[in-house]
Amino acid sequence: MVRTRFSRALTPALALTSVLALGARPVRAGSDDIGDPALTSLEARVGYGLAFGGGSGGSSQRLSPLTLTALVDHAVVADPWTSVFGGIVAEGYGRGSAGVLVGARVRPARGRLRIAGGAQALLVPATLFGPLASVGGCLPVAGPFNLCADIEAVLFAAGGDLPDERIAGQAQLVVGLAFDAW
């Protein structure tokens, strides 16, 4: 089997996310083993992975920009545990840009596993817009702090920084430290 640069880069990301996701198990009635996630959490994240582009018969892959994100996540539904999030994102190392992201997360069976969907908009210096999806999990490390890892994909399908008849996107391992505020 020939391993591409993409598969070599994604292997550690899949391993880390799998470890966190394997810890995802349902909470049984009367058990405070895991408990509910925080009503509101603050998360600082860093992501790195692969960027891709394609259209008009051609495609390309390269390392993605380094992504720094600050999120606020607030629960809105208790069963299944669902929260909405919003935040700011900045890209550097290969591309300089800044923008916002919004979305919703579901934690099936109130475990450590979390699945998210939303949208990201890079607004400065040029525009890119598109949907995002992620899967991952969090492990408690000390008191209100949790170590989180997600595999996140963003597909930019519109914006002034996108060449005609092309799409661009990125798949990244995103690692973060979440603080349970409330």
Residue 158 has pLDDT above 70, yes or no: yes
Beta bridge partners of 88: 70, 100
Give the CA-trace dihedral at 15, 50, 140, 89, to 10 degrees.
Answer: -170
Nearest 5 degrees, angle CA 104-CA 107-CA 112? 130
User: Average pLDDT for residues 115-143, to the nearest whole number?
Assistant: 96
Three-state secondary-structure class, residue 179: strand
Can you name the CATH fold of 5-24+38-180?
Porin (2.40.160)
Write down the pTM of the prediction. Answer: 0.80
Measured distance CA(59)–CA(50) in Å, rounded:
13
Q: What is the pLDDT at residue 22?
A: 44
Residue 34 banded pLDDT, cuts 50, 70, 90: low
Tokens of 153: 């994909």
- Selection from 160, 155, 113 nearest residue 133 by Cα: 155
- Cβ within 8 Å of residue 122, ≥6 positions away: 89, 91, 97, 98, 99, 128, 129, 156, 159, 161
- Encode pLDDT of 51-89 as tens digits: 998 876 778 899 999 999 999 999 999 989 999 999 999
Q: Which tops the pLDDT comparison, 101 or 3?
A: 101
User: Average pLDDT for residues 115-131, to the nearest whole number?
Assistant: 96
At residue 172, what are phi and psi to the nearest 5 degrees? -135, 155
Of 38-47, 101-110, 145-154, 162-171, the poorest mean pLDDT is in: 162-171
Q: Are 122 and 96 in contact (CB under 8 A)?
A: no
Measured distance CA(101)–CA(88) in Å, rounded:
6
Average pLDDT, rounded, for the chain: 84
- Cβ within 8 Å of residue 85, ≥6 positions away: 71, 72, 73, 74, 101, 102, 103, 104, 105, 116, 118
Residue 31 has pLDDT above 50, yes or no: no
Measured distance CA(157)–CA(152) in Å, rounded:
16
Kindly list the domain boundaries of the chain, sorted by start residue: 5-24+38-180
- Encode pLDDT of 134-149 as tens digits: 999 999 999 999 999 9
